[in-house]
Amino acid sequence: MRFADFLAIADRVVTTILGEPVSYVPGVGEPVDVSGVFNAAYEYVDINTHDGVASVGPAIFLTLSDLPTDPETDTDARIVRQAVTYRAHTVKPDGLGGVLLLLHET
């Protein structure tokens, strides 16, 4: 079995069992319910001053084949999770079918 195939199986298990339902809203077209692994870990934002901002870095891992559009090219796509709408400011594909979206609240 190739590694890519193995990883595809593993990602499917992770997103199905450990993920949660979110809505992927493409720039054009109808929203699609998908399963993704979301987290919003603490992030300290320092802007070269004596103080910084205690924030969080929301991100979600999705399987590309579940999505109606590619978030890397669909810059108007949104993610809706628990009534909060996000847009991806950074898209990090892993090259093997998965993608990590770094999110901003809109």
Partner 1 sequence: MSHKRQAIRDAIVTKLVNASTSAGTRVKSTRIEPIRTAELPCISVYSVSDQVDLERTNQTAPRKSWRDYQIAVVAWVSGSSDTLDDDLDDIAAQIERALSADEQLNESAEDLVLVDTAFDLRIDGARPLGAVGLTYSASYYTDVPDPLDVGLQDLKTADIRITSLDGGETELQQDEQPFEAHDQLTGLEG
Report the interface residues with partner 1, using CB under 8 A.
40, 43-45, 47-58, 89-90, 103-105
Provide the minimum distance between the beta carbon of 37 and partner 1 in the complex, in angstroms, as a whole number: 18
Looking from the CA of 65 toward its CB, the CA atoms found within 13 Å total 8
Provide the minimum distance between the beta carbon of 17 and partner 1 in the complex, in angstroms, as a whole number: 27
Nearer to partner 1, 32 or 91 (CB): 91
Nearer to partner 1, 32 or 40 (CB): 40
Terminal alpha carbon distance of the chain: 42
Nearer to partner 1, 48 or 73 (CB): 48
Provide the minimum distance between the beta carbon of 63 and partner 1 in the complex, in angstroms, as a whole number: 24
Q: Which of 59, 81, 66 is nearest to 8 (CA)?
A: 66
Angle of CA points 106, 62, 102, to nearest 5°? 40
Cβ-contact 23, 33 below 8 angstroms: yes
